[in-house]
Amino acid sequence: MSELRDLIREVLAEELGRMGAAPQERPQITEELVTIRSNADLAAFVKRLLRAAQDGRLRADIEAGRHVFRLADTASPAPVQAHMPHAPTPGACPPVRFERGLVSERDVASLPAGTRTVRLGKTARLTPLARDELRRRGIEVERSDT
């Protein structure tokens, strides 16, 4: 994007020169990359800004837009891995039991958050949508013999 701006400035300077107008001098812009990954990084940046504000020339450059700050392109701290099973959490809900009847998708949707296991009685059945939703949410299905 800055290359395009530079090109436009050059073309405008050439055309204005042909028309007899004096080309304006381009202001020098300094760019500072800033990496902020934590509250400590943010606090350090603010302290550095406060020190810079005491320097009159640097402060004027910042206010005029001749000294700009850009966020450094940082990768996410922990890559997300797809299809990894969730480890059981200590505060997980106890298994939910369905003793008999047909378990529908609506029944699965009403399960409490954190449910990891559904136990089905001998006569309980799952609809295909309920089975798909359980699989999508990573909920294990256990059958009981009684």
Per-residue pLDDT of the chain (146 residues), as tens digits, is 678 888 888 888 887 777 775 555 666 788 888 888 888 888 888 888 888 888 888 888 888 888 888 888 765 554 444 554 555 555 567 888 888 889 999 888 888 888 899 999 889 999 999 999 999 989 999 988 76
For the CA atoms of 106, 112, 114, 120, the dihedral, rounded to the nearest 10 degrees, stands at -60
Does residue 17 form part of some domain?
no
What is the pLDDT, as a whole number, of residue 32?
Answer: 83
Pairing between β-strand 30-34 and β-strand 67-71 as defined by DSSP bridges: parallel
Does residue 105 form part of some domain?
yes
Does residue 130 form part of some domain?
yes
Does residue 128 form part of some domain?
yes
Same domain, yes or no, for 102 and 64?
no
Same domain, yes or no, for 101 and 69?
no
Count how many domains the chain has. 2
Does residue 43 form part of some domain?
yes
Same domain, yes or no, for 66 and 103?
no
| Rg of the chain, C-alpha, whole Å | 31
Task: Give the domain range for residue 35.
Answer: 27-73
What is the pLDDT, as a whole number, of residue 4?
Answer: 82
Q: What is the pTM of this model?
A: 0.38
For the CA atoms of 58, 59, 64, 70, the dihedral, rounded to the nearest 10 degrees, stands at 70
Does residue 109 form part of some domain?
yes
Does residue 16 form part of some domain?
no
